[in-house]
Structure 1
Amino acid sequence: MNLIRLGLCGLCLMAGIISRAQDKPSYKFGKVSPADFKMKAPAFDTGAHAIIVGDVGTCRIVGGDKGEFELEFERKIRAYILDINGVDLGKFVIEYYIGSDDKEEVSNIRGYTYNLEGGKVVETKLESSQVFTEKATKKWTLKKFTMPQLKAGSLFELSYTVSSPYIRNFRPWEFQSNYPSLWSEYNTEIPEYFDFVFLSQGYLPFHINKNESTGRTWMLSNAAGTGARSSFSVSGIANQKRWVMKDIPSIREESYTTTIENHRCKVDFQLSSINYPNQVAQPILSTWTKVSEELMESEHFGQPLDRNNGWMDDIVKTAVGNAVDPIEKAKRIYAWVRDNFTCTYHAGFYLTNAGFKDIVKTKSGNVADINLLLIALLRHEKIESYPVILSTRSHGYTNAVYPLMDRYNYVACGVIIGDKDFLLDASEPDLGFGKLPVQCYNGHARVVTKDPASIELDPNAIVERSLTMVVMQQEGKVISGRVQADMGYFESLRKRGTIREKGKETFFDGIRKEYGSEYTLQNLTIDSLKILDEPMKVSYDFQYSPEDQDVLYINPIMVDAMKENPFKSADRHYPVEIPFCIDDNYVLNFTIPDGYKVDELPKSTKVAFNEDEGLFEYLISADATTIQMRCRIQLRKAVFMPDEYNDLREFFAYVVKKQSEQIVLKKK
C-alpha cells in the first residue's frame, strides 16, 4: 500500500512539473548555448524564413513622479534566422508619443546577436550609435534600428522599456506576426481604480488566459518646491492578467481579405472609467449618443450642415431644375455633386477646408468634404439626410458597442424620403443613386443623429449577378459568333472607371487581347455606359478560322473561364471575405460545323456547397447539329469561416478543372 501511495505521489509530482514547464517558455532569456542554433522551420509553418522563439511583454500601471499613475511597458524577444530571407525580423521600429506638456520615453534598449562560429557562440552587441531617432509626425517619434551581424543561422535577443504618463495609451499586444512564433505572452497589471475594456481578436486559442488579483502599494511623488519632492503611497488591489499563445503560425494576406489587421491575433485596451476612492467616478469611454452630439456640434463636421446657407439657393435651383418629386430632387442634387466635384482622397472623417464655400470654389475635396456638402444641399431642399460614418474594408472593422472613433475613416450620406431610405456616396464619379462602393460594405456603421442608429453594411446582403450569352456557328471555313455580356454592377463600376480614364478603344483592346491574335472581333458596343444606376452590357461579334483538321478541340467556356484557383494556400486561419455574393451565369448555343460530329462531350454535373450556400452547375447536351450548355457559379454568402476554407478551396478547384474541359469534334 505504501508503495502504491508513493507511486501515486510521484505521478502527481511529475504531472505538476510538466504542467509548470508548459506554463513558461522553453528557454531562459539571456542564456544562449550552441544547442539553441539547431532550430528548423516548425511543422505548423514549414515555409518560415525566421522563427520568434519567444516574445514576452509586460505592461503595468505604476506610481509616477508627478503625483499621478504612469504606464511601464517592457518587452523581451528572442528570435532565430533560418535563412537570409528572414533577416527583416531583426528590424525594429518603436513608436512613442511626445505631447505639449509631457512625453513618453524609450529606454534600456539592449540587444545582442549571437552567431555560432567554430562551435562557439559569438556575441555582437547593439550599440547606442546604431539606434536612430526619427520624427514621424508632430507628436509621434520613432526609434529605429536593425540588429547587428544578422545572417542565416543567427539568433538574437532584444529588450526595451517604454515609460508613459498617458495611461490611456495602454500598449496593445500582437501575438501573431509575419513570422511563426513558438511562444507569445502578454502580462498586465492594473490598479483597481482603472476600468479597461479588453478587446481581443483572432482565431487561434489561448494556451493560457488567466486572471489574478493581489494587494499592492504604489508610491507616487511630485515636486514640492525648491527642488524638494513629496511622496505618498496608495494601497489597493492590482488586477493581473496573463495571456499566452504557443505554436502560432505566421499570418499572410491572401486573396479575398479585407485587411490582415482584422484577423491578426491581438489584444487591445480602452480606458473606460477612473474610480478613485471617495471620488465621483470619471467616465472616459464615451457613448454613441454623446459622440453623435459632439460630431454634430463640431465646426468640422455637423455644425455647417444646418447653418443658414442661403448662398446655396442658386446651386440647388441649378441642380434640381423643374423636378417636383422629392426622390427626383434628391437624384438631381446627388448627380450635380457627383459630376461637378473631384474626390482627392477616398477617405476622411472631417471637413478639410474652412467651409462649404471653399469646397464649391475649388470643386474638390476628400470624401467627407464631398458627402457632407451633399447632405447640406439636400437639407437645404428640406430632404431628410444624415451623415453615415463607417470604416472601409481596407481600414479594418469597427466596434459596434464602443465608439472607438479612430477606427472610422469614411463619411457617406443617408437619405430618408417617405418610407424609403437610400445610401449615397457622391465621391465616386461613376456611382449610381442609392449605391455605395464595394469598399464600404464592411459591417457595422453609424447614422449620426440625436439617436444614433447602428446599420449593417453586410457583404452577405449584396449579390453581383452576371450573364454571358454566346452563340457560335460555322460560315464556310470560318467559325463565327456573338457574345453579349451583362456585367454585375460592381464590375460595371470598375469598367466605367477604366473607360473614363483611358477611353473606349483601350477597353476594347483589352477584350481583343484576351482572345488572342487568331480571333477577329468586330462591332464592339457598350450599352448603358452613361446610365450609372444600371449595370453595363458589352456585345461584340467574333470569328476565327480553325485549320482543316480531323479533330477540333473547343472549350465551351470562351469568356471569363476560371483558369486558376483563387485559394492557393493549403490552410487558412482567418475568414475568406469575398466582397459580395456571386451569381455568375454563362450560356452557349453552338451549331456544330458541317462535316463534324461530337466525339467527346464534358459530363454534366451539379455540385452543392455546404448544402444551400453555394452551387456549381455545368449542364451540357448535344444532338446532331447543336451543342447547348449552361454554367453557373453561385455563392449565397460572401464570408466563410476558417473551418469552411478547405471545402471552399476544393469547390473552386473543381470549378477550375471542369471549366477547362473541352468538346472534341471529329470529322465524319
Structure 2
Amino acid sequence: MKYLFTIILFSACLGSVFAQGGYDVAKIPDDLKKDAIAVVRNEEQFFDIKSLSSGQYDYKVAITILNKAGDGLAEMTEIYDKFMSISNIKASIYDATGKKIKDYKSSDVKDQSLTSNSSIYEENRMKSINFIALSYPYTIEYSFTKEFKGLLYFPSWRDLMGFNISVEKSSYTIQKNKNYQLRYLTSANLKTDSTAIADKIQYKWKSQNIPALVSEPLSTGIDNVANWVKASPNEFEYDGSKGNFNSWKTFGSWMYGLNAGGNKLPEPAKALVQNLIKDAKTPKDKIKILYNHLQQNTRYVSVQLGIGGFRPILAEKVAQVNYGDCKALSNYMKALLNEAGISSNLIVIGNGMPGLNTNYSSMGQANHMILCVPLEKDTTFLECTSQYDPMGFIGYSNADRNVLMVTDQGGKIIRTPVYSPKDNYQIRKTTINLADDGTALLALKSTYANAQFEENLSMMLLEPGEQRKRIIAGNKIPVAELTSFSYIQPDKTKPIINEELNFKSGQLYTKSGDKIFLTLNQINRKENVPLKVENRKTYFAVPYGYHDEDEINFTLPKGYTVEFLPKDIQIASEFGNYTARFTTKDNAITYVRTQTMTNKKYPPEKYNEYVDFYKKVYQADKQKAVLNKVL
C-alpha cells in the first residue's frame, strides 16, 4: 500500500509539474515565434455524431499571446441558440513560464443575447470569457462541450486561425456510426486518417508546427495555404423538418418545401397590387412599379428563430407589418409579382462569399436571399433588402457567382450577372483655371456606375452639412473654399450617381524663376507603390474590376506658355491597361487619363509583376508640364 501510494503521489506531482511548465513560452520553437502575435499551442476539436438530429462537440484550445497585438485572441466567444447547449466550460490563464495564474469560475462567464440593432426576433446568444494578463507573453486555455439538437451542418476546421498566428498542434476528429452517411471536403494534400472502433468510425485530420503567415496586400484569404476540412450530413433533421444534402437539387426541394403556402397575400394587398399595375403595359413595367413599392414601404430587419432562420416569414405577415429579413422581403416581392401574373424564384446566395461549389451541396456556403424574375428575353435579379438599389442591380458582392435557384422541381445552380470593369466606371471631367498667384478654381463633374455607384452611395445619402465636411476632409486637392457641390441619382432605375464639385484651392504648382512645374494628374493619382513580397503565399485580387476616365483641362496663368509637355503613355498588362495623353492649344493643356483594372484572382507568384505594373502607373501619374514666362 505504501509503495502504491508513493506511485500515485509521484504521478500527481509529475502532472502538476507538467501543468505548470507545459505552456512555458521558452519551449516554443523560434520559427513559430517569427512574425507571430500568438501561437496556438494545442487545439482539439472532436465531433461525435449521435443521430440524424443530435451531436456532441468537444473543443479545447491553448493559445500563447506573445504581445499586445494578439490580445484580440484572449477571449472565448461561443454562440448558441435553443437548438444547442453549452456546458463544461473550463478556463485558465498562465504566465510566461507556464505557471497557472488563475482558474476562471462560472461567474466569470458572460451569457448575453446577440440581438442586433437590425433584428427584432433572434434567439442567438453568446457565452464569453475575457482573459486579462498584466504582462506578456501569457497563455490562455479553455474548453467546453456543445450539444446539438438538430444537425444542418457540422463544425468546420482550419489549422491557421488567421494571419500572424502560428500553430504547434491542431486536430479535428469526426466520429460517426458505421451506417451514417456524411460527406467532406479537405484542402489539397491533407491526409485523412480513418479508424474503425467497434461500431464507430473516426476520421481525423491534424497539423503541427505551422509557421505564422504574414498578412499580404490584396490577399483573397489563406485557404490556399492553410489546412482545412468542411463536412456536411447527407440526411438531417432540424426543428421538425427533414431533408438531405445529396445534391443542390434536393437541397432546393427542402427550401421550396419550407415555403409551401407562404407567399399568399391578404385581400387588401391583392387589391393594392392590381391598382398599382393597372396602367402598366409590359411585365418590366409591372416589376418596376412593384419593386418601387417594396422599397418605399418596407424595411429590413433580421429574424432568426429556429427553422425561421431558413423559412421566410409569411408574405401575409409582411404585408401587415411592412418589415422582414432578406428571405421575408424576397418572398413578399415574389408574392406581389405572383399577384401581377409574373412568376419568380427565390435565390440562395453567398453575399461577399465565393460562389456555391457545384459538386458539394451543404449549409454554410450562403448567407443571403434575393429574387430572380425570368422573363422571355432576359432575367432580372432583385435585391429586396435595399431601399436604394435600382431594379436589377444586386451589388458587386452578389455578382458573378454560382447561386441556388429554388424551384418547384428542386434546386438549380445558376450564375448571377457579371459587372465587368467597363460597367464599373468612373468618368470625370475637370476644368482648372490657374491664377497668377498660384491659386486655382476647379470644377469637377463625375459619374459613378455600378460598383463605383455603391462606393459613393453613402455619400449621396448624407445630409448636406456632412457631405461638405467629408469633401473638405477627404479631397486630394486642399479645399480653400467650397463654392458648391451636389450628388444626384438622375435616373432611379439605373445605378449611376452624378457628382459636381466647385471649389478654390491654394498652390497647385511649383515655381523656379520664370518657370512653372505643373503636375498634370491633379485628381486621380496613385500616391505610392506597394512593396514587393518575396515568397508570397496567398492569392490576390483587386476589390473589383473598374474603368476610370479622367479629362482635365487647364487654363494657364496669364503670361505663360507651354515649354515642355510629356509624351503620350500607354501601359498594357494582364492586370489592366493605362493610357495618358497630353495636348496643348491656345494657352490651355488637356490631359486625358484612362485606367482599366481586371478583377481576376491571381496566384502568389504574379504579385511582384503586379507591383511592377503599379509602379509604371505611379510614375506615369507624376508627369509634369513645364511652363515658361513670356518675356
TM-score (norm 1): 0.73
Are 1:585 and 2:549 an aligned pair? yes
Deviations 1:59-91 (A, max 9, x none): 2649x8x9x9965646353x4443344345443
State the shift of 1:187 in Å. Answer: 4.5
Counterpart of 1:124, as a letter, is I
What is the CA–CA distance in structure 1 between the aligned matches of 2:495 and 2:56, rounded to whole Å? Answer: 56
Find out whether 1:377 has 2:336 as its counterpart: yes
Asked if 1 retains the 8 angstrom alpha-carbon contact of 2:25 and 2:137, the reply is: no
State whether structure 2 residue 367 is matched by structure 1 residue 409: yes
Deviation at 1:385, TM superposition (A): 1.5
Counterpart of 1:445? 403
Letter in 2 for 1:391: G
Q: Distance in 1 between matches of 2:196 and 2:457?
A: 66
Shift of 1:491: 3.0
Aligned match of 1:177 in 157, 161, 166? 161
8 A contact 1:349–1:409 mirrored in 2: no
Q: Distance in 1 between matches of 2:492 and 2:424?
A: 18
1:552: which partner in 2?
Answer: 516
User: By how many angstroms is 1:496 displaced?
Assistant: 4.7
1:230 aligned partner: none
**Partner SS state of residue 176, structure 1:** coil
Residue 38 of structure 2, aligned match among 45, 50, 57 = 50
Deviation at 1:637, TM superposition (A): 2.6
Secondary structure in 1 matching 2:230? strand
- Say yes or no: does 1:464 pair with 2:424: yes
Distance 1:51 1:523, change over 3 A: closer
| Residues 347 and 370, structure 2, Cα contact 8 Å, conserved in 1 | yes
**Which whole-Å CA distance do the structure 2 matches of 1:167 and 1:539 have between them?**
55
Deviation at 1:337, TM superposition (A): 2.0
Structure 1 residues 516, 72: closer, same or farther in 2, change over 3 A?
closer
Q: Distance in 2 between matches of 1:69 and 1:507?
A: 53
Are the equivalent residues in 1 in contact too, given 2:57–2:146 (CA < 8 A)?
A: yes
1:491 corresponds to which residue? Answer: 452
Letter of the structure 2 residue corresponding to residue 192 of structure 1: K
CA-based RMSD of the aligned residues comes to 4.5
Q: CA deviation at 1:264?
A: 6.8
Moved more, 32-41 or 536-545: 32-41
Q: 1:648 aligns with which of 577, 594, 610?
A: 610
Structure 2 CA distance for partners of 1:339 and 1:643, relative to 1, 3 Å: farther
Quickly say closer, same or farther: Cα 1:71–1:455, change in 2 above 3 A: same
Within 2, Cα distance between the matches of 1:545 and 1:265?
55
Kindly report which structure 2 residues correspond to 1:116-515, keeping only aligned pairs within 5 A, or say none.
Answer: 116=97, 122-124=99-101, 126=103, 128=105, 132=109, 134=111, 144-145=128-129, 151-154=135-138, 156=139, 158=141, 160=143, 162=145, 164=147, 168=151, 170-178=154-162, 179-188=164-173, 190=175, 191-200=177-186, 209-217=190-198, 234=199, 238-244=201-207, 246-250=209-213, 266-272=228-234, 284-298=244-258, 301-305=259-263, 307=264, 310-344=267-301, 355-393=314-352, 398-441=356-399, 443-451=401-409, 452-457=411-416, 461=420, 463-473=423-433, 480=441, 482-503=443-464, 506-507=466-467, 510-511=470-471, 514=475
- Bigger radius of gyration: 1
Query: d(CA) in 2 for partners of 1:141 and 1:344?
Result: 18
AA aligned to 1:83 is: N
Q: By how many angstroms is 1:511 displaced?
A: 4.1
- For residues 533-544 of structure 1, the aligned pairs below 5 Å read 533=494, 535-539=496-500
Corresponding letter in the other structure for 1:335: N
Preserved CA contact (<8 Å) 1:398 1:407? yes
1:634 has 2:596 as partner = yes
Asked if 2 retains the 8 angstrom alpha-carbon contact of 1:289 and 1:450, the reply is no
- Give the AA of the match of 2:234: S
Instruction: Provide the residue aligned with 1:83 in structure 2.
Output: 67
Sort the Cα spacing of 1:252 and 1:349 in 2 relative to 1 into closer, same or farther, 3 A. Answer: farther
Distance 1:213 1:96 in 2: 30
Contact 1:133–1:143 (Cα < 8 Å) also in 2? yes
The percentage of counterpart residues that share the same residue type is 14
Quote how far apart the aligned CAs of 1:243 are.
3.0
Per-residue CA deviation, residues 597-619 of structure 1 (Å, 9 max, x unaligned), is 34554554322232xx4112233
Verify the 8 A CA contact 2:478 2:506 in the aligned structure 1. Answer: no
With over 3 angstroms needed to count, the CA separation of the structure-2 counterparts of 1:187 and 1:214, relative to structure 1, is same
1:416 maps to a residue whose letter is P
2:592 aligned counterpart, secondary structure: strand
- The runs of at least 4 aligned residues of structure 1 exceeding 6 Å deviation read 137-141, 259-264, 346-349, 475-478, 566-572
Equivalent of residue 26 in structure 2, options 37, 44, 50: 37
Offset of 1:421 from its aligned partner?
1.2
Which one-letter code corresponds to 1:317 in the other structure?
A: Q
1:608 aligns with 2:572: yes
Structure 2 CA distance for aligned equivalents of residues 97 and 76 of structure 1 = 22
Q: 1:128 to 1:42 in 2, by over 3 A?
A: same
1:322–1:92: structure 2 CA closer, same or farther, 3 Å change rule? closer
Q: Does 1:106 align with 2:70?
A: no
Cα distance change, pair 412–255 in 1 and its aligned pair in 2 (3 A): same
Q: Secondary structure at the match of 1:338?
A: helix
* Comparing 625-634 and 592-601, the one that deviates more: 592-601
Equivalent residue number for residue 10 of structure 2? none
Secondary structure of 1:339's match? helix
Taking CA–CA contacts closer than 8 Å with sequence separation of 6 or more, which of the two structures ends up with the larger relative contact order?
2
Change (3 A) 1:98 1:297: closer
Unaligned runs of 5+ in 1: 1-27, 218-233, 275-281
Q: What is the CA-CA distance between 1:544 and the residue it aligns to?
A: 5.6
AA matched with 1:440? N
* Distance in 2 between residues matched to 1:34 and 1:365, nearest whole Å: 49
Question: In 2, are the aligned partners of 1:49 and 1:82 still within 8 Å (CA)?
Answer: yes
* Residues 606 and 426 (structure 1), Cα distance of their counterparts in 2 relative to 1, 3 Å cut: same
Q: CA deviation at 1:582?
A: 0.8
Q: Which 5+ residue runs of structure 2 have no aligned equivalent?
A: 1-16, 115-121, 237-241
Change (3 A) 1:304 1:622: same
CA offset at residue 455 of structure 1?
1.9
Verify the 8 A CA contact 2:568 2:581 in the aligned structure 1.
Answer: yes
How many equivalent residue pairs? Answer: 588
1:173 aligned partner, one-letter code = W
Q: Deviations over 1:99-142 (max 9, x none)?
A: 59xx56436x47462445xxxx7553535467536365798776
Q: Alignment partner of 2:21: what SS?
A: coil
For the 8 Å contact 2:252–2:406, the answer to whether it is kept is: yes
Letter in 2 for 1:651: F
**Structure 1 residues 319 and 256: alpha-carbon distance in aligned structure 2, compared to 1, 3 A threshold:** farther
